[in-house]
Amino acid sequence: MTDNVKPKEFKNTEAAAPRNAETEDVQMEPAEGLNASGQTMTENNSALETNEIENDKPEPTSDLSSLNSELRTERDEYLDRLQRKQAEFENYKKRTEAERQQQSKRATIQLIAEILPILDDFERALETTTDTSDTEQPDAYRTGIEQIYRKLTELLKKRGVTPIETLGKTFDPNFHEAVVHEESDDHKDGEIIEEYRRGYMLGSELLRASMVRVAKA
């Protein structure tokens, strides 16, 4: 009877057993662990990049100080240029005004110098005109000349023109032109005896020297 008993067949339960949930969980753990590691590395990289960016930014206080220093330097340069330009413009105005006055003065001197010979003619006309009682024409003629001469001298006086004194004065080459030197016992040496042509001044500037005769001891 022992020989007739067939041994029981055992199935490979390990091979035939289906996968259960626990097995699937164990197999998925490496994948999940890999994803977590990758996520951690990404987060670390992001944190590093953020730190690098923050480290690259300059400190606000230092940056503002440097900017203020540059602005002050630029401001001082512009201020210096402005002051120089203002000084140059003021000098230009003064120079232009001085030139204008000089031109006006030269034009006035030239005009008066051209008028003086006419004044000389009036003076000679007055010297040669004599009063006569025969007719009234000479008196009217002389009166007309005197009026014109007086108006002309008043006009020149308003412009600052004054005659140079000569008779009895000591000869001065700055204002007098000696035409004749004459020995005289009645006059001291260098004294002006006679005036041939009257000289004039425009303020403190000589317009025309007086032509005179000077005594010589």
What pLDDT sits at residue 11?
47
What pLDDT sits at residue 65?
81
What pLDDT sits at residue 144?
85
What pLDDT sits at residue 10?
44
155, 164 in Cβ contact below 8 A? no
First to last CA, the chain: 199
Structure tokens at 16: 């035939």
What pLDDT sits at residue 133?
44
pTM above 0.95, yes or no: no
Q: Cα–Cα distance between 111 and 115 in angstroms, integer?
A: 6
Kindly give the interhelix angle for 60-128 and 137-158, rounded to the nearest 10 degrees: 160
Domains of the chain: 161-217 (2.30.22.10)
Give CB contacts under 8 A, 24+ apart, made by 149-155.
Answer: 149/119, 149/122, 149/123, 152/115, 152/118, 152/119, 152/122, 153/119
Q: Cα–Cα distance between 210 and 196 in angstroms, integer?
A: 8
Would you say how long the chain is, in residues? 217
What pLDDT sits at residue 49?
54
Q: pLDDT tens per residue, the chain (217 residues)?
A: 444 444 444 444 444 444 544 444 444 444 444 454 555 555 555 555 555 555 555 555 677 788 888 888 889 899 999 999 999 999 999 999 999 988 888 888 888 989 999 999 888 888 876 544 455 556 778 888 888 999 999 999 998 999 999 998 999 999 999 999 988 888 899 999 999 999 999 988 899 999 999 998 7
What pLDDT sits at residue 126?
85
Q: Going edge to edge, which strands form the sheet with 161-163? A: 161-163, 200-202, 205-208
